[in-house]
Amino acid sequence: MGLCKLFGVSKQAYYQHDESKVLLKAAQESFVLKYVRTIREKDPGIGGNKLWYMYKHEFSGNKPVGRDRFADIIDRYDLKVRLKVRKPRTTDSTHGLPTFPNIVKDFIPTGPNQLWVSDITYITIWVDDYHYIFCYLSLILDAYTEEIVGWSVGSTLETKYPVEALNMALKRLEGKKNISLIHHSDRGCQYASSEYVQLLKEHNIRISMTETGDPKDNAQAERINNTMKNELLKRKRFTNIPQVIDAVGKAIDFYNNERPHMSIGMMTPSEAAVYDGVVEKVWTSYREKAIREKLAALEIPENSLPLTVGQGSPSGLRPPVNP
């Protein structure tokens, strides 16, 4: 033991010192874990920087660990504050499949089953306190009644789940005649797939798609996504897909049959389903206002000045050179 001789210590003293270092390190780590867990019980969302500041202040003069080691302990024992959920991408418009133009830019439905809007959103499933995966909710909304007419929850973004939602919605059309319906969605690969498009065509449903990535082009579908996640399912924590399916089913039943809606005069969607004609909103839709003003301006007999009769050449003909 050359180092022992060099520093003038015995082997026994060396090993005792080494053992005490190990014990001290273990004790320090134990104190860090206990302290962090105690604070997290009081404040589950407190960040690492504040924890380090509080720990350093609490254990000042009692051999606190350094900042890097403190961060390493938190990391090794999965005590980091849960990070913000990474939003998955639910729309892939780079698929190369045939798409359709937006034919509802100036369209305002005046009754049920004239316009359905569709979209897909994600719902978080927690594997444990710090790890998560996603499932995906496909929704179809009647743009006139605001009723959710079709939905499906799937573990992936496969087309079969939007197709399930569409088949649910199509059941509502059974026995109905003289239906003139448009289906509007984004240009995602699910809605542009041959399976989905063929199903719409088989039921004589016209197809409309957004032409840009602007959420305003499918604003009604975006709104129901927000209502579902940030109101109906707010603060709900899921650990498996059956829980999600159960919660979504109950939320949709409440939404369709009990919750009043400002876009349909504070009726419920199921009440609006027996109406037709213009339903007054409790808020101002500047889009609909602009469309109605545009259509009113095109009503020539009411909005144009009479033309006066005057001399001239017939339209499209040049006047004679020598009158």
DSSP notation for 243-280: HHHHHHHHHHHHHHHT--BGGGTTB-HHHHTT--S---
pLDDT at 320: 42
- Rounded to 5, what percent of the chain is helix, strand, coil? 45, 15, 45
pLDDT at 23: 79
- pLDDT (tens, 9 = 90+) of the chain, 323 residues, equals 443 444 454 545 444 555 677 777 888 888 888 988 888 788 777 778 888 888 888 888 777 889 899 888 888 887 776 556 677 877 777 778 999 999 999 999 999 999 999 999 999 999 987 789 999 999 999 999 999 999 999 999 999 999 999 999 999 999 998 999 999 999 999 999 999 999 999 999 999 999 987 878 899 999 999 999 989 998 899 999 999 999 999 999 999 999 988 999 999 999 999 988 888 887 677 777 787 787 788 765 544 445 444 444 444 444 444 43
CATH 3.30.420.10 residue ranges for the chain:
115-297
166 in Cβ contact with 133 (< 8 Å): no
In 10 A of CB 196, how many CB atoms?
Answer: 23
* 157, two tokens: 């973004």
- Identify which of 228, 117, 279 has the alpha carbon closest to the alpha carbon of residue 271: 279
Q: Which amino acid is at 223?
A: R
pLDDT at 83: 54
- Identify which of 115, 113, 155 has the alpha carbon closest to the alpha carbon of residue 134: 155
pLDDT at 161: 98
Question: Which residue in this structure is represented by tokens 């003038």?
Answer: 8
DSSP β-bridge partners for residue 151:
139
How far does Cα 110 stand from its chain's mean position? 28
pLDDT at 7: 40
48 in Cβ contact with 81 (< 8 Å): yes
In 10 A of CB 308, how many CB atoms?
Answer: 5
What pTM does this model have?
0.68
203 in Cβ contact with 100 (< 8 Å): no
H helix or E strand, kind and range, residue 238 = none
pLDDT at 51: 84
What kind of architecture, by CATH, is found in domain 115-297? 2-Layer Sandwich (3.30)
